[in-house]
Amino acid sequence: MLLDTPSLYFRAFFGVPESVTAPDGTPVNAVRGLIDMIARLVQDRSPERLVCCMDADWRPEFRVAALPSYKAHRVADDGGDQTPDALEAQLPVIDAVLDAFGLARVGVAGYEADDVIGTLAVRGAADGPVDIVTGDRDLFQLVDDDGPVAVLYTARGIRNLQIMGEKEVAAKYGIPGRGYGDYATLRGDPSDGLPGVPGVGDKTAAALVTRFGSVEGILAALDAGTDEGFPAGARRRMEAAREYLASAETVVRVVTDIGAPALAGLDDRLPSAPRDPEALVALAERWNLDGPVNRLLNALAR
């Protein structure tokens, strides 16, 4: 099980009231919410291995160089991201709690959590099923019914996960099961600053991905000079968007081959007991986490 941890703690922060605080009044809603999410996932899905994947770089330079608009709307005045102060203050607590439990937690310099997930998903599928837990549709591009690699999509909450494999992605978007990245490139994704191809909406994007398989396939058809397979007006739009399409491919495609030592030596076995019980007790007392900590302890013990 691979957790898109930033996606989960953002969901927890906005889903649990900020009135949930530590004894000193510091908000701990994201911490409590995240721990309860992990407890529910462990209880319901019983993974043998689990990794909390982190953003070491939320807006990597290689993606910005390819497409300057990538997440540009999320850049704060100081050049960082727009993480709310009340959430930012909880991130060190989240790290400390995960470490005290002994849950694998990893990010790689220069990469987003998505890329860590992509690399571990491809590697892990050789040993058995992989579940990716996220609220980010970009990771639909990793689904693989042969792995199997599935996305447990959190849009409706942890208790109502949507299990997305190739068949589910194909049914929802009318595209080949692994084609979501190409589909998003064509239609655009405002949440990531992807403008898309002007004049191309969901239906045209789906038709193009279904016909040509990928953005690379579309560009090859343009190079071949063929009109076959292009909906009315789509070929002209693709020609006009060549530069964007080449750049967006680098931005949208999740990296699946990070060679960092941190991933090579990762101990991702799910612990049955906390690695540092004393530290966990101290954290629970300091930050008013007794309830969620005990729920996760019970889930791990089972």
Q: Which domains does the chain have, with CATH numbers?
A: 2-168+255-301 (3.40.50.1010), 180-252 (1.10.150.20)
**pLDDT given at position 54:** 98
As a whole number, the mean pLDDT across the chain is 95
**Average pLDDT of 18-37?**
97
**pLDDT given at position 80:** 82
In eight-state DSSP terms, residue 133 is: E
The whole-angstrom separation of Cα 161 and Cα 168 is 13
pLDDT at 44 over 90: yes
**pLDDT given at position 77:** 83
**pLDDT given at position 61:** 95
What share of the chain has pLDDT > 70, as a percent? Answer: 100
**pLDDT given at position 82:** 87
pLDDT at 171 over 90: yes
Strand positions, DSSP E, the chain: 2-4, 51-53, 104-106, 130-134, 149-153, 162-164
What share of the chain has pLDDT > 90, as a percent? Answer: 93
pLDDT at 147 over 90: no
The whole-angstrom separation of Cα 110 and Cα 287 is 31
Distances (CA, A) of 133 to 15, 47, 292: 17, 12, 19
The whole-angstrom separation of Cα 30 and Cα 154 is 16
* Chain segment 187-242, per-residue pLDDT in tens: 999 989 999 999 999 999 999 999 999 999 999 999 999 889 999 999 999 999 99
* Chain segment 46-104, per-residue pLDDT in tens: 999 999 999 999 999 999 999 999 999 999 888 888 899 999 999 999 999 999 999 99
The total number of residues shown for the chain amounts to 302
- Cβ distance 204 to 234 under 8 Å? yes
The whole-angstrom separation of Cα 98 and Cα 38 is 10
The whole-angstrom separation of Cα 173 and Cα 288 is 43
pLDDT at 273 over 90: yes
